[in-house]
Amino acid sequence: MTTATTEAPEPSAIGAVGTPFEVLVERGKIREFAAAMQSENPAYQGPGAIVPPTFLTTATSWAPPGSRVVVGFDRRRLLHGEQEYIFHGPLPRAGDVLIAQERLIERYAKPGKRGGEMQFAVVVTEFRSPTGDLVAEARGTFIQTAPKGGPS
């Protein structure tokens, strides 16, 4: 494997935000997601379907170019370390419109288990109602593993 990177976009600094974008919570998408999670819970069916706990991962499909922060890690060494969803009240449901915005909130490094350095980045996506109320947050922790045969 080479470590060459071509035309990598500039990694976002801590505090950088993406452009807000609209997310439509759709009944059919909830139903499709519930099938993929092998859930027969009636809460995910019908006109009043609510979102499953990890459903907001689908919001990125609404993100236009330039609306996402750049973690800037080498894709071949990229791991998704942790993911969290927080709901500040009743769950979003089919028909809701949310405004999503990403923010890079943290970067840190730890020594790798086999030498070198592991890089971490934490990206929070806020989901607000059209009137600005904070409805939900998604928090992803991404890891770039230490390079193989790297300095130790």
Partner 1 sequence: MTEQTIAIAPGTTAPAREFGPLTRQMFVRYSGASGDLNPMHYDDTMARAAGNPSVFSQGMHQSALLATFATDWLGAENVRRFHVRFREQVWPDDVLTCSGEVETVKMNGDGSSLVTVSLTCSRQTGAVAISGSADFLLPAPHAG
Cβ closest to partner 1, residue 43 vs residue 70? 43
* Distance of closest approach, residue 68 Cβ to partner 1, in angstroms: 13
- For position 16 contacting partner 1 by CB under 8 A, the verdict is no
For residues 152 and 146, what is the distance between their CA atoms, to the nearest angstrom?
10
Q: Which of 137, 107, 103 is nearest to 123 (CA)?
A: 103
Find the DSSP H helices in 14-75.
27-36
Cβ closest to partner 1, residue 15 vs residue 64? 64
User: Which range in 4-12, 75-83, 117-125, 127-135 contacts partner 1 by CB under 8 A?
Assistant: 75-83
7, 61, 113, 132: residue in contact with partner 1 (rule CB under 8 A): 61
For residues 117 and 143, what is the distance between their CA atoms, to the nearest angstrom?
10
- For position 81 contacting partner 1 by CB under 8 A, the verdict is yes
Q: Which of 73, 67, 71, 74 is nearest to 17 (CA)?
A: 67
- For position 22 contacting partner 1 by CB under 8 A, the verdict is no
User: Which range in 9-17, 78-86, 109-117, 118-126 contacts partner 1 by CB under 8 A?
Assistant: 78-86
Q: Are 114 and 152 in contact (CB under 8 A)?
A: yes
For residues 50 and 37, what is the distance between their CA atoms, to the nearest angstrom?
14
Cβ closest to partner 1, residue 44 vs residue 104? 44
Collapsing DSSP states into helix, strand and coil, what is residue 86? strand
Binding site for partner 1 (CB under 8 A): 29, 32-33, 35-39, 41, 43-44, 50, 52-54, 57-58, 60-61, 76, 79-88, 90-91
